Amino acid sequence: MPKFELPKRPTAAQLRQQATKIGERARDAAGRALTAADQRITHPTVPLFYLAPEVLPAQPGVLIRKQSVSTVIDARAWRVLYTTTDAAGQVTIASALFCLPKIQEDSYNLLVYCHQATGIERRCAPSVHDKPALALAGLRQAMQKGWAYLAPDYPGLGAEGIHPFLIGEPTATSVLDAIRAIQTTTVAQINNKTVIWGYSQGGHAAAWAAGVQPSYAPELALDGIILGSPALDPAELFQASEDSPISRVIWALSAVAWSRLTGISLQGAIKPESLAAVRETAKHCFIGAEAIVGLAATDAMGGKPHLINPLHVEPFATMLHENRAPTKLSLPVLVVQGGKDITVPPAQSKLMIAEMQSYGTETTYIEHDRFDHLTGERAVVRDAIPQIESWWG
């Protein structure tokens, strides 16, 4: 009988070489698939609705125009354009999405939702998107409860301008002025029961809005704020967050947005080998299918992309310090945190809560062990709705 010999067993070095080749082929295939997917995605364009009028009203919080849209299922919805103030205190414009239940009521309680990071380009405004609910938690539940729902886009998203990513005051005033503007709309009677709810970047916006409301918009009545895995301390966010796709998105968006705000070139702040990935990431919107492509673009970033330490280099050090969210708040706060969150770690939220409590702020903290920053927004809904009902009695 013929003699058969088994092939020699490959060495460990050969196995590693084969695995490397397989991994490279898989990455190439994934890259080609993502490129093809990006080309198939229909990127929204910003309609003429968002253009500012030639002459602006002199006061912030004035409704300029509204436009009915059919992008929200089981709701009546409008885009709204209104006046607000920028970082220099000058009157400018901002936009928002406003939704009402299909069943009409004499008046409505108002839930204001501050969205997480969706990008820094104008087309990344939720109100521009053809499926805005993908970026807006609690919308379906608000419609079921018979509440009004207001989602500010933030400055530079939708309306013209540079988006002040994680810059507190202009974002806060855009939230408060959206409430002012919607209280004057003719499509519904909005009563004085108002809660602000924010997740991640939106948690930063919500806390800032609550902090400046007594001085900026004292006529508004707020019943409480919901903060989901909130990015309350930008400096701590840069220092404590671990390398992950979500963290890399935040690093890229902040780098590009702050470069635009300060006029400082990205080349002086970002590692040369990370520069292309930072720019590619920042051009995407993180809503729906495009978010998958944007997250994949972070793979080439190689960890933290910063050539400098923004905590120790001006003007970034001052910007980080000055945009820490207020913690001396005069209304109750619910914080819901993902236990597996490495972008906004639980320890960071607990530190800010302790500071709030030292000022006498009424706080409630709920931590869900199995949720991270990407999935945590779903967990917040389950706790936020009953808390809001409790505040409103």
* Alpha-carbon gap, residue 117 to 213, rounded angstroms: 22
Q: Three-state SS across 215-262?
A: HHCCCCCCCEEEEECCCCCHHHHHHHCCCCHHHHHHHHHHHHHHHHHH
- pLDDT in tens for each of the 393 residues of the chain? 555 555 566 676 766 676 556 655 545 544 554 455 454 556 678 999 999 999 999 999 999 999 999 999 889 999 999 999 998 889 999 999 999 999 898 999 999 999 999 999 999 999 999 999 999 999 999 999 999 999 999 999 999 999 999 999 999 999 999 999 999 988 899 998 999 999 999 999 999 999 999 999 999 999 999 999 999 999 998 888 888 999 999 999 999 999 999 999 999 899 999 999 999 999 999 999 999 999 999 999 988 999 999 889 999 999 999 999 999 999 999 999 999 999 999 999 999 999 999 999 999 999 999 999 989 888 899 999 999 999 998
Strand partners, 97: 79, 151
What's the whole-model pTM score?
0.88
3-class SS at 185?
A: coil
Is the CB of residue 166 less than 8 Å from the CB of residue 155? no
3-class SS at 102?
A: coil
Q: In terms of C-beta density within 10 A (0-12 exposed, 13-18 middle, 19 or more buried), how is residue 165 classed? A: buried
What DSSP string describes 372-383? -TTTHHHHHHHH
3-class SS at 24?
A: helix
Is the CB of residue 387 less than 8 Å from the CB of residue 334? yes
Strand partners, 114: 198
Name all contacts of 22-27 with Cβ < 8 Å and 24+ positions apart.
none
